[in-house]
Amino acid sequence: MTKRLARLVICFFYSATVAFSQTTSSLWLDDLPTKSFSEGIPAVLPKTTAAGDSIVMHGTYFNRGVGVNATSILAFFLDGKATEFTALVGVDDKGIKELPHRFYVIGDRKILFDSGDMRLGDEPKNVAVPLNGIKRLGLLVKVDDAGRTKVYSNWANARLVVRDNYLPQTIPNTDERYILTPPTPKTPKINSARVFGATPGNPVLYTIAATGERPMRFSAKGLPAGLSLDVQTGLITGKVVQRGTYKVTLTARNAFGQATQNLNLKIGDAIALTPPIGWNGWNSWARNIDREKVIASAKAMVRMGLSQHGWTYINIDDAWQGQRGGKFNAIQPNEKFPKFREMVDFIHRLGLKVGVYSTPMITSYAGYVGGSSNLKDGGFPDSIQANKRAFRYVGNYRFETQDARQLAEWGIDYLKYDWRIDVPSAERMSVALKNSGRDIFYSISNSAPFASVTDWVRLTNSYRTGPDIRDSWNSLYVSAFTLDKWAPYAGPGHWNDPDMMILGNVTTGTQLHPTRLTPDEQYSHVSLFSLLSAPLLIGCPIEQLDAFTLNLLTNDEVIEIDQDPLGKSARLLREENGVQIWLKPLEDGSFAVGLFNIGDFGKTPESYFRWGDETAKSFTFDLANVGLNGHYRLRDVWRQKTLGVVETSFKTEIRHHGVVLLRLFPKK
C-alpha cells in the first residue's frame, strides 16, 4: 500500500468515526424557554397561540409549535451544531383576516426560507431548511399590524435537528462594556432640577442633589415662607401658601470648594415641571416585590451615589395591594408590606420619594385588588381571586376618591395607574389626586391611544406611549425611536413615557438576567430617553449595578439634557445613510444632538437580528442640514469633553446601534 493510499484510508476511517460519534436528535422548539429567545414585544407561547388557545390553521389543529403575535423575532445561537429546521407556518384561524404575514428563516445573514405573503385561511406552508454550519438562526414573522391586536400566527410542529444533544443558546452579548464618562471630582456640583413646581398648601419635598466629597453643607437663599432646609442633608421641606415664582439660590460647600445653582420654585397649579427620575420595581422583582426589597433599593440609591445625581423616586409596582379597609375603605398593603407608613417615612428621610401602583380595573394585571368592584363595599372575595383574569375591567363601583386620600395620608408621591386606558377612568383619578391634599405625580399606563393625546396632556403628568418594553433593540426601537409624532405634546407637567429603562439585570418576560442590549445599544438607550425628555426609571435591582451600568446612569451632562427646564422633546430631523439625527433645543439657547447609527433597522429581514459582524459607520454631520447656522462650541456629552468650534460640519465614527451625543453652544 502506498503512503498516499494509506493516508486516504486513515482519513476515511477518521471521518467515519467522527460522523458516527456526532449523533443527531430532534428538539421541539416548544420545549425550549421560548420567551428567552424572543426579541419582539408581544407574547410568544409554547404549544399554544399567543393568546393561549389551541393552534389552528386552515381548520387543522396542532399540538406542537410556537404561537406569536404581530411582528415576532426569535433569535438562536446554534454554533454550527444544528443540521435542520422544520415547521409548518401560517396565520392562526383566530387571527385577523386582511393582514398579510410573511415568515422568514435566516441563517448567518442569508435568507433560507421566505413564505411570501400569507393570510388567514391559507394552507400552512412547509419549512425544511438545512442548517449545517449555521451559527446564528433567526425566525422572523413580519406584519404591518399598525397597532392592531389579535395578530396571531404560528410556527407549528417547529423543531431543530441538533448534534450531540446541543441546546440552543441566546445570542451572545460579549462586546466590550466600555466606560466613557470620567469620574466625578471631589469639588461640589449641584445636579438637582433647576425648576420645581408645587401646589399652594401641599407638602414640598425637594432634595439638593450634589456630587463631591462628603461631608457637605447646604444653604438656600430666597426660600419662601413655610419652607426650611436641613443644612446637612440638603432636604427642603414644608408648605408654601402664597402663589408665585420664587428665585432661590442653592449652595453646596465642602473642603474642596463650593457650587451654586439657581432654582425657580413655582407655586401654582402645575407639578412635574421636569420628568421624574428614579426606580421602578417591576422589571427587577415583578410579583416578588416586598418591603425588604424596596428598602434595600432606597438604601442602594443613596449608598451607590445615584441620589447625588438627582435620582429621586422609589416606585413600587403591582403586587403590593391587599384587601380594602382603613378609615377610607381604601386599598391596604398586603402581608408583604407591614408597617407601610413607617417604610414611606424612612424613604423620605433619605431625601427620596415613594410611588405605588394601582388600576381602575377590578383586578390588576398581576391579579391583585384594583380600584373598582362589582360589590358595593369593594370586597375581593375568593370567587374573584380564583379567576383574576376575568375581572380585568372597570367595575360598577369605583373608589378613586378613597384610594387617593389614602395615598396622600401615607405620603405617597407618585401613582402608576395601569390598564387599557380610557379617558373617563383617567379623569376620575386625576380629579381625586388633585383633591387629595398632596402633590402626587400621575402616570398612566399602558399604550395610551395617540388619538386622545390632548386628554392625556390635560389630565396626567405622564402617559405610556406604547406597550411594555423588553430588553431588545427591536423593543427599544419601537418604544423610543418612533416617538417623533408625540414630541409636540410633551412639556413641563406632562411627559411622553416610553416605559422603564432596560439596563442592568432585568426580568422582562424571563427570570432575572443581564440586559440583552449591547453596550452600544445601552448608550443609545440612555441618550435617546434623555433627548426625548422621557421619565428615567431604572428597571433593575439597584444594589446589583455594576461599574458600567452605574457609569451610564451618573453622567450629569446627559441627565441635564433630560431635566432641562425648557422641557422640549427632541425631534427626528433627518435620516441619512442609516443614521438618524435627533435635535433638542435647551433653555440656555444651546442644542443637544443625537447621531444614532440604526443600521437600517427594519428595512430588510436580516436587519432584525444581530450577526456579530457589525461595524462602525463614518458619518459627516452637516449642521446646515438641520438648520444650525453660525459657529458652535461642540461638546461630546458622554466623554464630557469639548471638541472645539465648528461652523459647517463634524465628522465622526458611530458604532453599530450606537450614538454620538453632542451639545452645541452658539458662539457670538
Name the DSSP class of 481: I
User: Could you give the count of Cα atoms lying within 13 Å of 421 in the half-sphere of its Cβ?
Assistant: 28
CA distance 499 to 464: 6
CA distance 358 to 317: 8
Q: Which amino acid is at 327?
A: K
CB-based contact 208:196 (threshold 8 Å): no
Q: Strands, DSSP E only, in 351-472?
A: 353-358, 372-373, 397-398, 414-418, 441-445, 462-464
439 is catalytic: no
Q: Which amino acid is at 366?
A: A
Catalytic residue among 403, 468, 471, 564: 468
Q: Strands, DSSP E only, in 54-109?
A: 55-57, 60-62, 65-69, 72-77, 82-91, 101-107
CA distance 168 to 204: 54
Q: Is 11 helix (H, G, I), strand (E, B) or coil?
A: helix
Name the DSSP class of 667: E
Q: Strands, DSSP E only, in 342-410?
A: 353-358, 372-373, 397-398
* Antiparallel, parallel or unpaired: β 353-358 and 414-418: parallel
CA 661 to chain centre: 20
User: Could you give the count of Cα atoms lying within 13 Å of 134 in the half-sphere of its Cβ?
Assistant: 27
Catalytic residue among 318, 413, 418, 564: 418
Name the DSSP class of 169: B
Q: Strands, DSSP E only, in 170-230?
A: 189-190, 195-198, 203-207, 210-211, 217-221, 227-230
* Antiparallel, parallel or unpaired: β 189-190 and 210-211: antiparallel
Q: Which amino acid is at 355?
A: G
CA distance 407 to 331: 9
Return the exposure string of 93-118: e unless at least 16 CB atoms fall within 10 Å of the residue's CB, then b: bbbbeebebbbbbbbbeeebbebeeb
Name the DSSP class of 432: H
Query: Is residue 446 reached through a cis peptide bond, with omega within 30 degrees of 0 on the bond before it?
Result: yes
Please count the other Cβ atoms lying within 10 Å of the Cβ belonging to residue 587: 12
CA distance 537 to 191: 17
CA 611 to chain centre: 24
Q: Give the chain's end-to-end CA distance (angstroms, integer).
A: 90
CB-based contact 236:278 (threshold 8 Å): no
CA distance 67 to 49: 4
CA distance 306 to 579: 32
CA distance 224 to 221: 9
564 is catalytic: no
CA distance 94 to 117: 17
**Segment holding 402, helix H or strand E:** helix 400-410
Name the DSSP class of 309: G
**Torsion sign across C-alpha atoms 492, 497, 502, 508:** positive
Please give the positions annotated as active site: 418, 468
